[in-house]
Structure formats: structure tokens, C-alpha cells
Structure 1
């Protein structure tokens, strides 16, 4: 086995370059894997918030559903309906689905399918919040949403 004392200067330089390349490759791999994990975490977080919102609606726990709304969405709903959020959500007659999935995450924004309904979510410091619910596609037009922020 060769040791550093018996190697010449050229052999030492080649070893250093190989070590630097291996380190750079390992660093790049770590960044790529972390990025994939972060995207997966965002998708799971968005779907989890969507499921929690749908479960709250299905069980009639409108206070819990309101807690999952983005602050501006909650304020807009209360202003539009002129009543507290839980009563306003109850009266909104939003579609409810046990099937939540198919997330499309774009940075801190997400679109989650809940049956035929669509939920739009945003990631806040304390987690994902629903910014629009009861949304249906309208072809080339923007989605029509029953509940949305201002």
C-alpha cells in the first residue's frame, strides 16, 4: 500500500483533485436529495391540510374548518356573509369529499383535488391554509370559488 510519504507531487495532486471532485459530487447529491424531500414534504403538507379541512366540513366542525382558512379568506367570508366564520361556512354549502389528493405544489402555493372540488392553499409560517374552496374549473377562465380571500 502506498502512503503519502512515498507518492510524488503529481500523484498527490491527482489524489487531491479526485477528493475534491468526490466532495463536490457528494454535496450536489445532498442538495438534490434535500430539494426532492422538501417538495415531497410540501405536497404532503398541502394534502394533509386539505384532508383536515374536508374532514372538518364533513363532521360539521365548522370552527375547525375556519381555523384552516387563510386569515384573509376567513375575513372575506365573514365580511361577505356578515356573520362569524363557522356560521358562514355552514351556509356556504361547500362540496365535501373523502377523496383528497392529486396535489400540484408551486413553491408556497398548492392546488389540491377533493373529489370534483378544488382547494387552493398557501403555506404560512404555521402550516398550510386554505385560501379558496368550493372551486370548479371554467375552461380558459379562472376557477369559480364559493369561498375565497380578497
Structure 2
């Protein structure tokens, strides 16, 4: 009986960690989508990874905004989808940041992104 309770506690603890990570990734994706919808270039830039900012003029970013519908997390990487966009995120020391935005699947190839990449 104690062994089963210990196993149950472990399963619940691991499940809680996963959902917390997904919530944090979703929050970053929501913030980015809201910044895009509002045209807030300073906020857009602050939510991008350094690498994603390298070749983009944040004031000229023209991406679809929208509500985040789905988030899938794999360790320190995540994919978030809105009705009209796919975002890729990375977990950094400062929190989750968008590494790719305006991404669309390309048959037999990785996603093509307007900002950064997967």
C-alpha cells in the first residue's frame, strides 16, 4: 500500500511539472501573439530569442496575431499554434522566448519562418 502511494505521489509530481512548463510556454506565446496584435514592436523584440532578433526589424514585423490554441513542449523547446500562425519557443535562463514566428510547414522539409526558425 505504501509503495502504491509513493508511486502515485511521484506520478502526480511529474505530471504537475509538465503542466507548469506548458503553462509558462503558453504564457510566453500568448504575450507574443498579443504584442503582435497590438503592433508593440518593443514587446515583440523582448520576447524573441537573441538569434531570432538578429535579422529582423521588430518595428516592421507583420505577423498574424491571434489566440494560442495549442502548445506542445519537448524539454526546453515548444511549438505553439494560433489559427493562422505557428510559433517555436525555447526555454532560456530568462524564461520562454520565441525562436521562430510566422512559421508554415513545407512538405518534406522543416518549417519556413518569417522570423527566426524552428
Shared fold per TM-score greater than 0.5: yes
| Cα distance, 1:43 vs structure 2 | 1.3
- Select the structure that is richer in strand: 2
Q: Size of the alignment, in residue pairs?
A: 118
Give every structure 1 segment of 4 or more consecutive aligned residues whose post-TM-superposition deviation is greater than 3 Å: none
| Alignment of 1:51 onto 2:30 | yes
Q: Secondary structure at the match of 1:100?
A: coil
CA distance in 2, matches of 1:114, 1:103: 9
| Alignment of 1:106 onto 2:67 | no
| Cα distance, 1:89 vs structure 2 | 2.2
**1:38 maps to what in 2?**
17
Contact 1:50 1:119 survives alignment (8 Å): yes
Contact 2:52 2:115 survives alignment (8 Å): yes
| Cα distance, 1:56 vs structure 2 | 0.9
| Alignment of 1:91 onto 2:60 | yes
**2:55 maps to what in 1?**
77
Contact 1:47 1:101 survives alignment (8 Å): no
Contact 1:122 1:130 survives alignment (8 Å): yes
What RMSD over aligned residues (CA atoms) do the two structures have, in Å?
1.8
Contact 2:48 2:97 survives alignment (8 Å): yes
Task: Calculate the TM-score normalised by the size of structure 2.
Answer: 0.89
| Cα distance, 1:27 vs structure 2 | 2.2
Q: Secondary structure at the match of 2:55?
A: helix
Task: Calculate the TM-score normalised by the size of structure 1.
Answer: 0.72
**1:67 maps to what in 2?**
46
- Select the structure that is richer in helix: 1
Structure 1's unaligned 5+ residue stretches are 1-21, 79-87
